[in-house]
Amino acid sequence: MAFSDYRTALVTGASSGIGAAVVERLCREGLEVHALARSAPALQVLADRTGCVAHAMDVTDLAGLTALAGATAFDIVVNNAGVDRPGSLLQADAEGIDLLVDVNLRAVLQLCRLTLPGMMARNRGHIVNISSIAGTYHFGGNTTYHATKAAIHMLSRQLRIDACGKQVRVTEICPGRVETEIFGHVHGDSAATRERFVEGFALPQASDIADAIAFALAAPQAVNVGMIEIMPTLQVPGGLTTLRADHDHGHV
């Protein structure tokens, strides 16, 4: 399918970072792009720059999502909105768990539920889910985040089964560390945060992720790009830790 086969797109978490880069990329392809995020001022700046249609809305607003999906037949849905609360489950609180499940998983499920049937009826569509290497690898901390992103990984595979027999494609994008504002949102926008996560590292840019999504969208009709894992060349996930039997498990 070429971009000309698609007419409309919805991008969540669109006010900055990867979401804004995807909006810009899809607008350049001539699509009618609807950008959804909480920040009305940031969306307005994006709309002025790209011509996208701004929707200042929380992605957990089910009534709002339902109305939006009912008003516009989306050929492309990019589920990009996400939040994080760092720490293991030992440091987690109920509010943080609910927030991550609501934004990272429940909103994605609901939006897929609202848009996939229309794509199948039109025999045309593409769902792009932004997960994370945290959904396929395990490393220290961020346990709830890992759990929600692992769910998106499996959801993306299940959606292929749900859409079987129709020209509806599903792509999962699994970024590693990317130079975006996410670190400031999670750890505080400070010089220390930038030094810890960004400065001195050779990192992919948000536009690199947008280009990968464009590659999947523009693939030939017979091709479904199921998953793309994008990491810095100098980032390697995984690892193995073995503790002695007398290790003191009482301390965190």
Q: Looking at residue 96, what is its pLDDT?
A: 96
CA–CA separation, 205 and 240 (whole Å): 29
Q: Count other C-beta atoms under 10 Å from residue 117's C-beta.
A: 14
Q: What single string gives the DSSP state of each residue in 215-232? A: HHHTS-TT----EEEE--
Q: Specify the pTM.
A: 0.90
Question: What is the Cβ-side half-sphere exposure of residue 194, based on CA atoms within 13 angstroms?
Answer: 6
Check residue 5 and give its pLDDT.
Answer: 87
Strand bridging mode 32-37 / 53-56: parallel
The answer to whether residue 37 sits within a structural domain is: yes
Residue 9: inside a domain, yes or no?
yes
**Whether 89 contacts 147, CB under 8 Å:** no
What is 89-156 written as a DSSP string?
TTT--HHHHHHHIIIIIIHHHHHHHHHHHHHHHHT-EEEEEE--GGGTS--SS-HHHHHHHHHHHHHH
Domain carrying residue 103: 3-230
Kind and range of the H or E element at 32?
A: strand 32-37
Q: Is the dihedral of CA 154, 76, 182, 43 positive or negative?
A: negative
Neighbour tally for 92: CB within 10 Å:
16
And the tokens for 203? 């990192």
Please check whether residue 160 lies inside any domain of the structure. Answer: yes
**Residue range 99-132, pLDDT digits in tens:** 999 999 999 999 999 999 999 999 999 999 999 9
Contact present, 204 and 179 (Cβ < 8 Å): yes
For residue 208, give the CATH number of its domain.
3.40.50.720
**Structure-block tokens of residue 166:** 């129709």
Q: 184 Cβ partners below 8 Å, 6+ apart?
A: 190, 193, 194
Domain total in the chain: 1
Residue-wise pLDDT tens digits, 165-213: 999 999 999 999 998 766 655 656 666 666 766 677 789 999 999 999 9
| Residues with active-site annotation | 145
**pLDDT tens across 44-67, in order?**
999 999 999 999 999 999 999 999
Domain membership of residue 252 (yes or no) is no
Residue 246 lies in a domain: no
Residue 102 has a CB neighbour count (10 Å cut-off) of: 16
Q: Is residue 122, in this structure, part of any structural domain at all?
A: yes
With beta carbons less than 8 A apart as the criterion, state whether 59 and 36 touch: yes
Residue 236 lies in a domain: no
What number of residues does the chain have? 252
Please report the pLDDT score of residue 244 as a whole number.
87
Q: Which percentage of the chain shows pLDDT scores above 70?
A: 90
Residue 189: inside a domain, yes or no? yes
